[in-house]
Amino acid sequence: MYFTEFVEFVKKWNKYGKYPPRTAWPEEIVLDRRLWEDIVKLHRFTDSTGYEYESSLFYIERETIISKPLKGNKDNVHAHHSLQVKYIPDNKNYRYERQIILDSRIIQRDYFAPDQLPKQIDSGFLFNMHTHPTHLNNTGSKVYTFFSPTDINSLLKINTLLTGLITDEFWLACKTDRIISKIGEVGEEMLSNITRQSLDDETMLETVLKKEIQNWGLVIYRGDFNRTLKKII
Ligand SMILES: [Zn+2]
């Protein structure tokens, strides 16, 4: 599924107010070039500073808007964004100016003829994504950690469909209609175990994901930078 179609999918389910069944989530997602550029940029920021970074995606009509990278600390990053869309009449030129205001800053201005004005402004939040810095494992090699217990619990707590994680690849964790309400102590322990181990231990990672995370009602996508994202569970 191409990104524009995927955005429509997320918008549709958000408006519906429900989480899609596992089978409704596409097998593959092809992100657009612009979004990959932002993902790689966030990854580079984190690699050079050791801090987590976050960006959020919004939509206005059929456009997607991405927030400027927000710096967190070495363990987490909290996202607070606000999006506002204003149509301001410009009577002298018989047109309207549309201002897109993200985090109290005008990030885009467009002009519309009065008859082009939408009856209702269709805008909203799509998903956020954040980076994880590398850690040294016990053999001294650099590894990235998986979604932390906090990452997953905050996804479960809020009313959003999905969240992204940037390591040296890109991950999406998406909710299904079978989503659990919280992961509990055993689940937290399990995520910490994944986190302590190298993500390079592919067999361990896939086994744990298939055995446990699937039972939480989550769909996980994974993909190298600039490649197609594949649904792995
Ligand atoms: Zn995290």
How many whole angstroms from 117 Cα to the centroid of ligand 1? 40
CA 76 – ligand 1 centroid, Å: 6
Rounded to the nearest whole angstrom, what is the distance from the C-alpha of residue 202 to the centroid of ligand 1? 20
Confidence grade of residue 137 (pLDDT, cut at 50, 70, 90):
confident
CA of 152 relative to ligand 1 center, distance in Å = 8
Alpha carbon of 150 to ligand 1 centroid (Å): 7
Percentage of the chain lying above the pLDDT 70 cut: 94
* Span from the CA of 195 to the centroid of ligand 1 (angstroms): 10
Residues ≥6 apart with Cβ < 8 Å to 54: 42, 69, 70, 72, 77, 78, 79, 128, 129, 130, 131
Give the Cα separation of 223 and 38 in Å (integer).
15
- Per-residue pLDDT for 153 more than 60? yes
Rounded to the nearest whole angstrom, what is the distance from the C-alpha of residue 133 to the centroid of ligand 1? 9
26 Cα to the center of ligand 1, angstroms: 24
pTM: 0.91
**Residue type, position 208, single letter:** V
Lowest-pLDDT choice from 67-81, 84-98, 132-146: 67-81
CA distance 215 to 206: 14
| End-to-end Cα spacing for the chain | 17
Cα–ligand 1 centroid distance for 139 (angstroms): 23
pLDDT digits (tens, 9 = 90+) for 155-207: 999 889 999 999 999 999 999 999 999 888 888 888 877 776 656 666 777 77
CA distance 147 to 150: 8
Range scoring the smallest mean pLDDT among 6-20, 119-133, 134-148, 213-227: 134-148
pLDDT tens string 78-131: 667 889 999 999 999 999 999 999 988 999 999 999 999 888 999 999 999 999
* pLDDT value for 139: 77
Q: What's the whole-number average pLDDT of the chain? A: 90
Q: How far is the CA of 53 from the centre of ligand 1 (A)?
A: 10
